[in-house]
Amino acid sequence: MTKKKRVWVVLILILFCSGCDVAYLFHAASGQFRLLKDSISIQEALNDRSLPPDEQERLRLVARIKTFGEKELGLTETDNYETVYLSSSQCPIYTVSAAPKDCLCQQTWWFPFVGDIPYLGFFDLERAKEERDRLAGQDLDVCIGLADAYSTLGWFKDPVTLNLIRGSTSDLAETILHEMTHTTLYLKGQSAFNEGLAVLVGKVGAYLFFEHAFGPSHPYTLTAKASIEDERLFSRFVASLMDELECLYGSSLSYEEKLTQREEIFAASLGTFKDVSKRFRTDRFTRFGLRPLNNATIVAVGLYHRHFDLFEAVLRAKGGSIRETLSFFKGLSKESNDLLDAMKLWLKRCPTPHT
């Protein structure tokens, strides 16, 4: 995925959930409360002057990114990203995803208010490994990912984390705008829509921010533009791979035959990816395929990247305006319980050119 297996997640912290694993909820809550307790205001961190100059520069940029998202893109105003957690540079969350070996079907966990979630988030790697091993014992494909950031959907005051401040300026803007999108529009049980929309707003919004703040020829702006172009390439690669696997899994072949043929598809896809990667202009997806592929990995990647062309088509139909696109989706969400299908149907009927 990205150079640090770039994923964004929504952390579920509902403490009074009938049917939910109490131990997991305690782990998630205690980890979140630790981040809250140990976070300090961004201004306090800047006054301390203990951060290197480049990290101070990125920290100062947080407020500008947030304001741009709220005022120019139409993202919801919150108290998020006014504090920073400096106690650890580790990515804050490990994610565990699972899928059957003969189906691109996500293993999900149900929580009140947000519905089915296709991953669990852990603050501790050992806890994540325990869950991975438990799921693997059920003959499921499993993968562990690292999340650069997460959102609590407004339940808590989310801090900026040190790993973001130590990363690239482009990643910082993209991540903040991505997470702000979740707070603006998050549909219960529609993870592919939620993440696909946030990827669109994060990437396009970052490009618009840098163009506005630094000009069209600044390296930040050019990097953000290249990130969008790479996203298109990777999205089409992922969509093609998933289409091929779904065709296999939907066939009348036996379970054993499907497992044999999927390994052939996995191997061939790595060759295809090698050719695609030669066209990349950033290093966002260089780590894809470094570990053995399985359905859990592919479904987790597809959750974020499979439908980028679809979201971008709607954005074009709305004149390139993120604000208008968000407003459109809010209205469409009142008419349909499946936004991905509703988007496809709307685009077929849309008189505005979108290709």
Domain-located, residue 311: no
pLDDT at 14: 38
Count of the separate structural domains present in the chain: 1
Residues whose CB falls within 8 Å of the CB of residue 267, separated by 6 or more in sequence, listed in order: none
CA distances from 159 to 26, 43, 44, 146, 198 (A): 20, 13, 13, 17, 18
Within a domain: residue 161?
yes
Its pTM stands at 0.87
Where helices occur in the chain by DSSP H, the ranges are: 22-38, 42-48, 53-71, 125-136, 162-165, 169-184, 191-214, 219-249, 255-277, 295-305, 308-317, 322-333, 339-349
Has residue 1 been placed in a domain? no
Residue 159 included in any domain: yes
pLDDT at 16: 35
Domain enclosing residue 210, as ranges = 8-306
pLDDT tens by residue, the chain, 355 residues? 444 444 444 444 433 333 345 454 444 555 556 666 678 899 999 988 788 999 999 999 999 999 999 999 999 999 889 998 887 655 667 889 999 999 999 888 776 656 677 878 787 888 889 999 999 999 999 999 877 766 666 566 788 888 888 889 999 999 999 999 999 999 988 989 999 999 999 999 999 999 999 999 999 999 999 999 999 999 999 999 999 999 999 999 999 999 999 999 999 999 999 999 999 999 989 889 888 999 999 999 999 999 999 999 999 999 999 999 999 999 999 998 899 999 999 999 886 555 4
Residue 340 lies in a domain: no
Compute the distance between CA of residue 117 and CA of residue 109 in angstroms, rounded to an integer: 5
Looking at residue 244, what is its pLDDT? 98
342 CB-near residues (< 8 Å, 6+ apart): 332, 335, 336
Asked whether residue 351 is domain-assigned, the answer is: no
Asked whether residue 228 is assigned to any structural domain, the reply reads yes
Instruction: Tell me if 297 is assigned to some domain.
Output: yes
- Residue 152, pLDDT score: 61
